[in-house]
Structure 1
């Protein structure tokens, strides 16, 4: 799990302000209401955000969606041999005719910014194997796609 710089800065700033308010008060009696107010603020705003942030899982895993989509499972599919000229919207439009697409990520070369010809599609499905059978070897913009279940980073074949 990675916590971004901005999230760390926000949490640090909130705790720094809370500590300054509490410890800069002249008397203990005056700091008690401030301490209670700050702890209520932190439990009401920061805690739910932090809990939802920490509970997120990796994109390649099968997971259960939140309240409105509690019964739908998602899976991430690897799609290879994509046309280099295809963008995320074109890929999503093509695949939505076959399966319920949640998101599309096409990989790019870090140095040149050009697409690498493969990507990952997060889909809603109960049967990943039948989705792969249906989508593998489909022709998209004159290229035969290769579709399989995505693996976690570092998984050996």
Structure 2
């Protein structure tokens, strides 16, 4: 489980409140500035420790995928009848597929015959070599690295 900024802020606030309650109890008999300082010191010490403890979850699957990066592939010449799950299943036999987006015509809603596949791999060229010019549902696929989307001003 990854702990983000908001979670760290909430954890820090909980420790600050707990520290304030601890330092403001009758047994310490301290002034308010010292109470607030003590609670902030307590939260400053404990929050990073707890966050690092929560962020370090040993898992064999996450260790093996640390070297892999997410890449996006352009896939052309897709059959119009192909759906996202069929494309994901086909490419899943070659690499770890994160997502599939098949493009559709805005007016008709029909597929355009191309799409984008997000894959998790450390060797994108091998995936391209295995899938480019391969046959999928009686069509020869064209697979390339996707280009970055250019925004028009």
Task: Place the TM-score, normalised by the shorter chain, in its bin.
Answer: 0.5 to 0.7
Q: 1:122 to 1:16 in 2, by over 3 A?
A: same
Correspondent of 1:28 among 29, 33, 37: 33
Match of 1:3 in 2: none
Specify the structure having the higher radius of gyration (Cα): 2
> What do you get for the CA RMSD once the two structures are aligned?
4.4
Contact 1:87-1:106 at 8 Å conserved across structures: no
Structure 2 SS opposite 1:154? coil
Structure 2 SS opposite 1:67? helix
Structure 2 SS opposite 1:121? strand
Q: TM-score, normalised by structure 2?
A: 0.55
Contact 1:78-1:149 at 8 Å conserved across structures: yes
**TM-aligned CA deviation for residue 148 of structure 1:** 0.6
Q: 1:106 to 1:16 in 2, by over 3 A?
A: same
- Give me the whole-angstrom Cα distance separating, in 1, the residues matched to 2:92 and 2:41: 51
Correspondent of 1:118 among 115, 120, 124: 115
Q: 1:36 to 1:110 in 2, by over 3 A?
A: farther
Match of 1:106 in 2: 101
Alignment of 1:1-157 (within 5 A): 10=6, 14=10, 17=13, 27-44=32-49, 67-72=63-68, 75-97=71-93, 99-108=94-103, 114=109, 116=112, 117-126=114-123, 128=125, 130-154=126-150
Could you report, residue by residue, the CA deviation over 1:12-38 in whole angstroms, capped at 9, with x for unpaired residues?
9749957x9599x87012112321233
Structure 1 SS opposite 2:79? coil
- Give me the whole-angstrom Cα distance separating, in 2, the residues matched to 1:122 and 1:105: 9
Contact 1:81-1:118 at 8 Å conserved across structures: no
How many residue pairs are counted as aligned between the two chains? 130
Contact 1:77-1:149 at 8 Å conserved across structures: yes
